[in-house]
Structure 1
């Protein structure tokens, strides 16, 4: 009890377990890896020079940035109007649309990539449909090109763009738009001058997240792209498998990491632009008194004109509103179809009774499900993933909850710095994190072991647990704890009887997201597994690279339906906890 009181006086002590795992598994290997890139102990830039001296490497680096930028811009172009339309929708429709955004985000990225392989292939649904309609005479080259890479990346990253935008847009006071309209502003002017500036934090967060994650994309470009669509993550993975030139690998990884850090440092700042309004403009320093008087006269005429127009249009019903509403509904339908249709088609085609996948299935059969559950290699990979996922979820939830609870009581600056360190593994490019952890695991001899995979996946899972539990604690009324302490309850009893029941939905949500992260992780696991341990994602990725086994459709169907169970579990947890929380608050 004395130890607990001592820890609670210094809340950062609760974050020590999480920081220890982060430092040992990711921090120290990253520092070591950085020194390797500098050719320590001689300390030179020869590795960076060797990488940049080859034109092919520079071309891959530029192409990585180019693909990431264009994928981010496409996500922003689709995501911003989608988030805006969802925010403007009625409450029930808004909730339903938000859930539909969550579903593909929670679905395995491998499954979504596989869905596009089936859709875009020469014998895929799109080409066969066009051939059956007589619109084309031969299959279109839709796959293994830049277009397929953009389609796959945007499909995976679009929810990541929409969710931060929704979070910011739903916090904007709608009465501000109404006030602008009441002052005579047209709809577009009200949006441009009022709503858009207030939504820029969401634009910044979404754009930054999408771009940094796209920098480390490996699976989608490898599966959907051609030889000319290689990205830097593919180059790093190939170097590890073939030449194993540690210096060049380290240099390439830190060049990619440097780009991500620069973007996080620059665009993570507050770009509200308040400094623009400080001081006089250059023109005002030389404009004479007569000219300023003329400007004021013109302004008064303009004010009278705007006032007259406002009086005419105040009660005038705007034309075209039905058309704009219809256009918005069509746009939402197209975006939701783009996000959900590939998963739905995989589920439907998994019941095909033919020798290959087809839509619609000519006959219905469970042959691919029997193939999955009857093959020990598939069921063994599934059982391995479940075991590792449960261990990762338990470890990450306990450690992440303690860290979030301690950080919630820490000073703001310290809380911000420590939180940024803890979530670094999910904000940095996945291939860079994976390579650093891999070399760390080589040093301590944990490559090819379950322990090594658990520690590798726990680094990212802890970050998700910290973020979700911290969001729950942000709405927690700490006066309840003080009230319990004033009634002579001890710190441990207060946490167990008051705090824990109220933050339990966040803890369960953190556990679910930690399990999902573990169950879907493939890039870092493929490096640390050492080809001796096969999780379900690794088994799927191996089959996707070697042969397009229709059994993957059955696996994809199961993994597509899995997020629905997660959302139901989260809803039931929240629904059951809400009355108890309300009851405690009422007391």
Structure 2
């Protein structure tokens, strides 16, 4: 029983392979990139002064922040009520709605961006419908506009806002709201005073996650926006493609990274201290604040008799739900699901068109674009390359990430939090910054333009997904099973192989799936690391979207749309097989 603690010193050692990949590929290069931005060893801020000294750069910076704030606000506006309706739904309906939210999240970012090009283009679905009904005489300029960028960004980020909120809302005891209603509180008062404060952790997590990821958006603004809609990531990518002045690129990258760090430092702090405000010394308020508070108290006193009368009327009355709210909630959630799923459905239908161009609805059905894909070696070779790289990334990241998660779960909370933060950096930093740092790291070891280099570059981010998912599985793992195994003279490795791994296998498979998805959908890092000598399927798609708009890409997109369904089925089957035989029913859903 006392043997296991003696092996705790090996916990950090289990994380060393993952940390080694991160430090070589990302950690050391990002430090060198920061030193380059400071003109080391001279150390000056001349590069930052040069960046901020150009009005065009400052305008792009503020435009990036503005677009990120607007996109995050829209995600919050639509995501919060969506999460509320999902969390309040019955268990089976909630599972179905979550599937509808997760499928777009697992769908390739390029596919979703291409879908909006097809829908918003001059010959797209919306313009064709308006022209057919005679509502317009000329196509509307929907594509290459700020509105198109917002539509694409919100479509991509909305699941990232919904999922954390649902996770928090499901765990809230609804009897608290019912108790508030029984004590005379109205529906809005009960929601605002009881339910909403309890959702603040999920609200903060979703908002921060969406905003930080929006800051690093590159593909969507470049594909859907015009020249006036450039974000800082697009600006940095243009610098890389044109001059590759490393000092200027480093300064631009760390300006973008600095914005993300400031937001995290401001809003990533623990806000629960507000509950202990009574213990803090009160400061004298300005006179105008005191006057405002006095005026507010005066109006409250005037309204108190009316509030008392209403309170006694509704006291101890059950808080029923108006049927109109149920109808409104159903219509709202249907609209959100339609917004999330419709682009993929439209692309899939258009890929079956028999015409020379994509059209919706198709004038005839044909598999010509699928035959074009399988008959074109440039497409099939790119797909096979992506599959090979994705499998290699999955093996590397799953092995190292699982060991890291297993080791970190045995360390102290402070050390675990610090190392986890380091491991998650490649997936929380703006993608263009990660791409530049990764390029420099692989350049130093001579792996630019090689498959090994791409595998290591993708693994740096994929390891983070594996660690998060496997660590979440280990959090619910009963350590007493390991202690029982070791009390029966089983060694640590035999215990891990015969007891721990079989129980956490669903989490490992889930992490492996997300690692493959991360690699298979990667564009920004691959475009730099490949050195123009290796073409993955996302790179081929991105090249086609920007230049040719070959209808074959619709067939590729439709096939990639089916992958999330396969991933979800695999995860569900793994979860189902891990349950005891008496509980295996295909009608059940994960709790």
Q: Could you state the TM-score of these two structures normalised by the residue count of structure 1?
A: 0.93
CA distance in 2, matches of 1:282, 1:581: 63
CA distance in 2, matches of 1:125, 1:209: 32
Residue 265 of structure 1 deviates from its aligned partner by: 2.2
Matched, 1:457 2:452: no
Q: Specify the SS of the correspondent of 2:579.
A: helix
What's the counterpart of residue 28 of structure 2?
28
Structure 1 stretches of 4+ moved >3 Å: 4-10, 279-284, 295-311, 314-320, 580-583
Residue 51 of structure 1 deviates from its aligned partner by: 1.4
What's the counterpart of residue 202 of structure 1?
202
Contact (CA 8 Å) 2:181, 2:317: kept in 1 or not? no
Deviates more, 1:549-558 or 1:47-56: 47-56
Deviates more, 1:208-217 or 1:260-269: 260-269
Contact (CA 8 Å) 1:7, 1:13: kept in 2 or not? no
CA distance in 2, matches of 1:319, 1:468: 39
Measured on the aligned residues, the alpha-carbon RMSD in Å equals 2.5
Change beyond 3 A, Cα 1:297–1:138: closer
Change beyond 3 A, Cα 1:84–1:277: farther
Question: How many residue pairs align between the two structures?
Answer: 573
What's the counterpart of residue 433 of structure 1?
434
Q: Specify the SS of the correspondent of 1:77.
A: helix
Deviates more, 1:43-52 or 1:114-123: 43-52
For 1:103-139, what per-residue CA distance to the aligned partner results, in whole angstroms no more than 9, with x for missing partners? 0000000000000000000110001101111111211
Q: Specify the SS of the correspondent of 1:423.
A: helix
What's the counterpart of residue 469 of structure 2?
468
Contact (CA 8 Å) 1:51, 1:252: kept in 2 or not? yes
CA distance in 1, matches of 2:382, 2:538: 8
What's the counterpart of residue 325 of structure 1?
326
Residue 309 of structure 1 deviates from its aligned partner by: 3.2
What's the counterpart of residue 56 of structure 1?
56
For 1:26-83, what per-residue CA distance to the aligned partner results, in whole angstroms no more than 9, with x for missing partners? 0000011111111112111111112111111111111111111111111111101110
Change beyond 3 A, Cα 1:132–1:319: farther
Deviates more, 1:5-14 or 1:98-107: 5-14
Residue 5 of structure 1 deviates from its aligned partner by: 9.2
Deviates more, 1:295-304 or 1:155-164: 295-304
Residue 493 of structure 1 deviates from its aligned partner by: 1.2
Deviates more, 1:106-115 or 1:486-495: 486-495
CA distance in 2, matches of 1:148, 1:564: 27
For 1:353-386, what per-residue CA distance to the aligned partner results, in whole angstroms no more than 9, with x for missing partners? 1111111111100000000010000000000000
For 1:375-418, what per-residue CA distance to the aligned partner results, in whole angstroms no more than 9, with x for missing partners? 00000000000000000001100100000011111111111111
Contact (CA 8 Å) 2:390, 2:516: kept in 1 or not? yes
What's the counterpart of residue 419 of structure 2?
418
What's the counterpart of residue 67 of structure 1?
67
Residue 316 of structure 1 deviates from its aligned partner by: 6.4
Change beyond 3 A, Cα 1:5–1:179: closer
Q: Specify the SS of the correspondent of 2:244.
A: coil
For 1:260-293, what per-residue CA distance to the aligned partner results, in whole angstroms no more than 9, with x for missing partners? 1122222111112224333576689x9xxxxxxx
For 1:523-575, what per-residue CA distance to the aligned partner results, in whole angstroms no more than 9, with x for missing partners? 11111111110000000000001111111100000100100000000000000
CA distance in 1, matches of 2:10, 2:244: 45
For 1:119-169, what per-residue CA distance to the aligned partner results, in whole angstroms no more than 9, with x for missing partners? 000110001101111111211110101000000000000001111111111
What's the counterpart of residue 141 of structure 1?
141
Change beyond 3 A, Cα 1:185–1:22: same
What's the counterpart of residue 81 of structure 1?
81
What's the counterpart of residue 309 of structure 1?
310
Contact (CA 8 Å) 1:184, 1:306: kept in 2 or not? no
CA distance in 1, matches of 2:117, 2:482: 53
Contact (CA 8 Å) 2:183, 2:314: kept in 1 or not? no
Query: Where do residues 127-138 of structure 1 align in structure 2 (5 Å cutoff)?
Result: 127-138=127-138
Q: Specify the SS of the correspondent of 1:352.
A: coil
Contact (CA 8 Å) 2:181, 2:319: kept in 1 or not? no
Change beyond 3 A, Cα 1:133–1:481: same
CA distance in 2, matches of 1:43, 1:529: 32
Contact (CA 8 Å) 2:506, 2:578: kept in 1 or not? yes
Matched, 1:14 2:14: yes
CA distance in 2, matches of 1:407, 1:575: 27
CA distance in 1, matches of 2:533, 2:298: 81
Contact (CA 8 Å) 2:184, 2:316: kept in 1 or not? no
Contact (CA 8 Å) 1:7, 1:14: kept in 2 or not? no
Matched, 1:546 2:547: yes
CA distance in 2, matches of 1:507, 1:41: 44
Residue 299 of structure 1 deviates from its aligned partner by: 9.7
Change beyond 3 A, Cα 1:452–1:6: farther
Q: Specify the SS of the correspondent of 1:10.
A: helix
Change beyond 3 A, Cα 1:282–1:230: closer
What's the counterpart of residue 122 of structure 2?
122
Contact (CA 8 Å) 1:465, 1:514: kept in 2 or not? yes
CA distance in 1, matches of 2:308, 2:17: 64
What's the counterpart of residue 509 of structure 2?
508
Q: Could you state the TM-score of these two structures normalised by the residue count of structure 2?
A: 0.93
CA distance in 2, matches of 1:580, 1:245: 62
Change beyond 3 A, Cα 1:488–1:581: farther
Q: Specify the SS of the correspondent of 2:199.
A: helix
Query: Where do residues 179-194 of structure 1 align in structure 2 (5 Å cutoff)?
Result: 179-194=179-194
Change beyond 3 A, Cα 1:324–1:441: same
Contact (CA 8 Å) 2:120, 2:127: kept in 1 or not? yes
Change beyond 3 A, Cα 1:40–1:297: closer
What's the counterpart of residue 290 of structure 1?
none
Contact (CA 8 Å) 2:182, 2:318: kept in 1 or not? no
Change beyond 3 A, Cα 1:5–1:320: closer
What's the counterpart of residue 589 of structure 2?
none
CA distance in 2, matches of 1:417, 1:263: 19
Contact (CA 8 Å) 1:5, 1:491: kept in 2 or not? no
Residue 580 of structure 1 deviates from its aligned partner by: 6.7
